[in-house]
Amino acid sequence: MKNFIFQNPTKLVFGKGQISKLNELIPADVNLMITYGGGSVTRNGVYEQVKAALKGRKFIEFWGIEPNPQVETLRRAIELGKSENINFLLSVGGGSVLDGTKLIAAGILSDDDAWDIVLKGNAEKQIPFASVMTVPATGSEMNSGAVITRAETNEKFSFGGTYPQFSILDPEVTYTLSEHQIACGLADAYTHVLEQYLTTPNQSRLMDRWAEGILLSVMEIAPKIKENPCDYDLMADYMLAATLALNDFIRMGVTQDWVTHMIGHEITALHGTTHGHSLAIIMPATMRVLREQKHDKLLQYGERIFNITEGSEDERVEKAIEMTEKFYRSLGLTTRLSEENIGNKTIETIAKRFNDRGVAYGENRNVTGDVAREILLSCS
């Protein structure tokens, strides 16, 4: 196991009715701005719950943060926050709203343009922020990262900073999510775990078993949620799995990959594909192209997750990859670029972007633009 330093200061407030605790969780003397997406919170009852919890409090609202939050929109929120001397933000919505809020929290304290903050990769300062999470997927409610899109150039980059002060997760608010939203959220959580698990063997028994537990849980609840998306216990497991998949816990002392995410971000930036869906397309292809360096972990994954114990090692590795793709498809997601009308032009654009940036991703830092091209061709 590698050396590591661990700290996650986010207070997780979990369960039905917990939105009512907002007034006691947010300090009384702050200048508060609440951020929202396109309006789904007005249809699922969350908006009214937030207003009721904060009755008598003064705050302003900013609406319109998009799925894959755009820096062009967030600049307006930053300007509003500065003019109103905002010193506390509450994100109400999914991971995209919270990602955007994280940039707003940095922009309010900075003289730099918001996109420059993103390109730096790390926000030096942020005002305090918190969240009411409505779409389980990204884990943003309990991590320090965010991913931002620049619409004018079709680019998408991540940056890091501090953590939400608290996040409220009420599984009942997920009952109105569409089947596609849930499928993408489950795919997102599953892939987050694989990016931290499917790397170097024999690093940590604890991290492996914890990761495998999340993978098995997601696989177990996925078909049951399709049958009953209003089962509280199922949706509680779904919501918590998405949080645990990316809140720093399962990556303590182990190497990480993130190739699939880096390529997936480009697919989303260029085509608007839902993030979790892009991961379902790219992850099996990443496994195929990098199967040699991931060989031992793929064998372990196949045995522990899919009970693959028969055949040669190469056959078992191939079966593990096939079963992974089959799982994504069982969610109702496509797993090939051609199924989404994405062709060679996009493949070459992504390869060029990676090569021009001089990046090399993956646990072995060997996935350049040329390797990314191979991965994309493998799922074309």
Provide mean pLDDT across the span 181-197: 98
Look at residue 31 in the predicted model and tell me its pLDDT. 98
pLDDT at 238 over 90: yes
Q: Which of 303, 326, 181, 323 lies closest to 242 in space, CA to CA?
A: 181
Query: What angle (nearest 5°) sits at the alpha carbon of residue 219, between those of residues 218 and 222?
Result: 75
Q: Which of 71, 68, 86 lies closest to 128 in space, CA to CA?
A: 86
* Token representation of residue 53: 């919890």
Confidence of residue 249 (pLDDT cuts 50, 70, 90): very high
The Cα 18–Cα 132 span in angstroms is 9
Kindly report each contact of residues 288-294 with a partner whose C-beta sits within 8 Å and lies 24 or more positions away, as own/partner: 288/321, 288/375, 288/378, 289/371, 289/374, 289/375, 289/378, 290/259, 290/362, 290/367, 290/375, 291/317, 291/321, 293/363, 293/364, 293/366, 294/198, 294/199
Do the Cβ atoms of 285 and 182 come closer than 8 Å? no
The Cα 60–Cα 125 span in angstroms is 22
pLDDT tens readout for residues 267-303 = 999 999 999 999 999 999 999 999 999 999 999 999 9
Look at residue 3 in the predicted model and tell me its pLDDT. 96
Residue at token pair 């292809």: 285
Q: What is the pTM of this model?
A: 0.97
Instruction: Give, as one character, the DSSP assignment of residue 85.
Output: T
pLDDT at 150 over 90: yes
- DSSP reduced 3-state for 362: coil
* Token representation of residue 300: 């372990």
Look at residue 121 in the predicted model and tell me its pLDDT. 97
pLDDT at 378 over 90: yes
The Cα 16–Cα 14 span in angstroms is 7
pLDDT tens readout for residues 196-237 = 999 999 999 999 999 999 999 999 999 999 999 999 999 999
Do the Cβ atoms of 274 and 135 come closer than 8 Å? no
Percentage of the chain beyond pLDDT 70 is 100
How do beta strands 145-150 and 155-160 pair?
antiparallel
* Token representation of residue 255: 């190497």
The CB density around residue 313, as the number of other CB atoms within 10 Å, is 12
pLDDT, averaged across the chain? 97
pLDDT at 39 over 90: no
Provide mean pLDDT across the span 300-313: 98
Provide mean pLDDT across the span 298-323: 98
The Cα 97–Cα 35 span in angstroms is 7
pLDDT tens readout for residues 118-146 = 999 999 999 999 999 999 999 999 999 99
Do the Cβ atoms of 315 and 300 come closer than 8 Å? no
Provide mean pLDDT across the span 329-349: 98
Which domains does the chain possess?
11-173 (3.40.50.1970), 178-378 (1.20.1090.10)
Look at residue 275 in the predicted model and tell me its pLDDT. 96
